[in-house]
Amino acid sequence: MGSGYSERILYIDVSRKEHRVEPLDKGFARKFVGGKGFANYILYKYRIWSYDPYSPDNLLIFSIGPFSGTMIPMASRAWAAFRSPLTNILGGSNLGGYLAPIMRYTGYDMVIIRGASEKPLYIVIRERSVEYVDAKDLWGMDAIETEKILRKEYGESSAVLAIGPAGENLVRYAMINHDYWRQFGRTGGGAVMGSKKIKAIVFVPGERRDYAADPDKLRSYLRDFTAKFVKEAGTTALRDGGTPRLVEIANRMGFFPSLYWSQVTIDGWEKISWESFRKNNFIKPLACLYCSASCHRYVESKKYDTKVDIEYETIFALGSNIGVTDPDQLIVLNDIADRMGLDTISLGNVIGFAIELSKRGFLKLDIDWGDFEKIKQLIYDIAYRRGVGDLLAEGVKRVAEKLGAEDLAVHVKGLEPAAYDPRSLKGMALGYAIAGRGADHLGTMAYAIDIAGRAGGKDYLGPEKVKAVIEYENLGAIMDSLLLCKFGRYIYTFPVITEILNIVTGFNY
């Protein structure tokens, strides 16, 4: 009988090439649940603000929750935490795919990494061993090719985290890739990993077990719950069009940021809508492990022989926000960003800002909206910190401070915002303002309140809206600790979460 946890924490010192395993304290688990709760407490206890983001003493933490490795829908997410090189405050990000279940089958609730290697390496984590492998042949390789090589070496059932050249070159918004198109995208975890000279981390699964305190009761509960989940309106909408379906909604409601936040819609948006991708580029839906929502959309450009997993946020960031409305070009830019290991949200904001600055005379850069070839080259220049790319690799806030253009910079606490214009969505404006990691649309999920017309509608900001945002922020905090996907917010209410959590952990919340 389990407890919902592996009951082990792995500590790795990259400088010494040493590791140790410590037991998970039951009281700690009950209080902080998992995921974000575990990681943020460790960072707080460690006084992470005392260390430079690129210092060997900065921690890089990967954590999962008590639902990880079970058949609970939308529970295949994992959390990464560190001091952010982009914002200088607490950094964090989560991703889907299958890292969380494989990390559970490897036998750890949390992996805490400190130190820095003198030479590039990758780390192989098994249930009873940790191996440090020379990565000189992988260093300089893109993130997707790195993963292909390591999955071939360690098996397709292994879970790989890899950085691209952007992480190696300490671009402040470099990301960590997994499963080719899943990412710890926000706040610069790839740069922290690169500063430690870690090219990749490979989790090799061990024996799968029943981790729930009452596995029979959980299976019985999930039979009815999963049937309801499959039919839930939010699930069916995601299955129908994934996140790209938001392009039409955003333009119709007027919150689709375009031409670096100067417009809330863009001419030609229909060409980068889900309907357009579905007709011309769609291959198949993709899903995280144990999830029937299948919200990811695998698309291809036959013109450029390129395939990616396209998301709404990237359609904004590398599409409307920089004036690109050609779907084939957008697919190529998405692919380059993924391979280089760049957070597309921050990248699109930085490029849009650069184009705006060039037009206003702050920056000597011969580029215009929608200039595909020059934008493509600029992405490589950012990843390798070449020429003006070296400046743009610093992020919008630092670029603005360097050039004296603070009044034109769109960010919160140094983090560039996602595809929801707060001037059109008042709840989201509040959500951005209070978010702990910066311009975070997922902390409060307030865009969902506004789009649904709840709490007074999208144009209202008053006590009713504030209450709704607080409720969603509280829900988001527990979902990030359980590592539940935020798309489950409509079915994972507090009573439902409490009931499942008690079954899985044996606690009495």
Kindly state whether residues 128 and 199 are assigned to the same domain.
yes
**Residue 483 and residue 394: Cα distance in Å, rounded?**
30
Q: Do 8 and 209 meet the contact criterion of CB atoms below 8 Å apart? A: no
**Residue 126 and residue 108: Cα distance in Å, rounded?**
10
pTM exceeds 0.75 for this model: yes
What lies within 8 Å, CB to CB, of 423 at 6+ separation is 264, 429
| Segments forming the whole domain that contains residue 265 | 240-408
Q: What is each CA distance from 478 to 22, 37, 45, 79, 253, in whole angstroms?
A: 24, 8, 20, 13, 30
What lies within 8 Å, CB to CB, of 478 at 6+ separation is 33, 494, 497
Kindly state whether residues 399 and 432 are assigned to the same domain.
no
Kindly state whether residues 376 and 466 are assigned to the same domain.
no
pLDDT at residue 80 greater than cutoff 70: yes
Domain presence at residue 147: yes
> Which of 408, 436, 461 corresponds to the end of one domain?
408
Domain presence at residue 226: no
For Cα atoms 468, 346, 250, give the angle at the middle one, nearest 5 degrees: 50
Mean pLDDT for the stretch of residues 84-105: 97
Kindly state whether residues 64 and 114 are assigned to the same domain.
yes
Domain presence at residue 419: no
Kindly state whether residues 280 and 178 are assigned to the same domain.
no
Kindly state whether residues 168 and 307 are assigned to the same domain.
no
Are β-strands 8-13 and 110-114 bridged in parallel, bridged antiparallel, or unpaired?
A: parallel
Tokens of 207: 């024996």
2 pLDDT tier (thresholds 50, 70, 90) = confident
> Which of 408, 434, 452 corresponds to the end of one domain?
408
Kindly state whether residues 296 and 373 are assigned to the same domain.
yes
pLDDT confidence of residue 211: 86
Q: What is the CATH number of the domain that holds 343?
A: 1.10.569.10
pLDDT at residue 501 greater than cutoff 50: yes
Span of 1-15, 89-103, 253-267 with lowest mean pLDDT: 1-15
**Residue 166 and residue 181: Cα distance in Å, rounded?**
16
Domain presence at residue 221: no
Pick 242 or 175 by higher pLDDT: 175
**Residue 324 and residue 347: Cα distance in Å, rounded?**
14
Residue 66 φ then ψ, to 5°: -65, -20
Q: Is 385 left (phi over 0), alpha (psi -120 to 50) or beta?
A: left
| Residue 63: strand, helix, or coil | strand
> Which of 151, 183, 203 corresponds to the end of one domain?
203
pLDDT at residue 1 greater than cutoff 70: no
Domain presence at residue 227: no
Domain presence at residue 417: no
Kindly state whether residues 382 and 480 are assigned to the same domain.
no
Kindly state whether residues 181 and 278 are assigned to the same domain.
no
Span of 114-123, 247-256, 399-408, 432-441 with lowest mean pLDDT: 432-441
Work out how many domains the chain is built from and give that number.
Answer: 3
Tokens of 98: 């299958």
Pick 381 or 285 by higher pLDDT: 381
Q: Do 370 and 323 meet the contact criterion of CB atoms below 8 Å apart? A: yes
pLDDT at residue 295 greater than cutoff 50: yes
Kindly state whether residues 129 and 178 are assigned to the same domain.
yes
Domain presence at residue 57: yes
pLDDT at residue 446 greater than cutoff 50: yes
Kindly state whether residues 324 and 185 are assigned to the same domain.
no
Tokens of 14: 């990259």
CA atoms within 13 A on the CB side of 29: 25
Domain presence at residue 413: no
Pick 285 or 272 by higher pLDDT: 272
Q: What is the CATH number of the domain that holds 141?
A: 3.60.9.10
Residue 444 φ then ψ, to 5°: -105, -20
Kindly state whether residues 168 and 257 are assigned to the same domain.
no
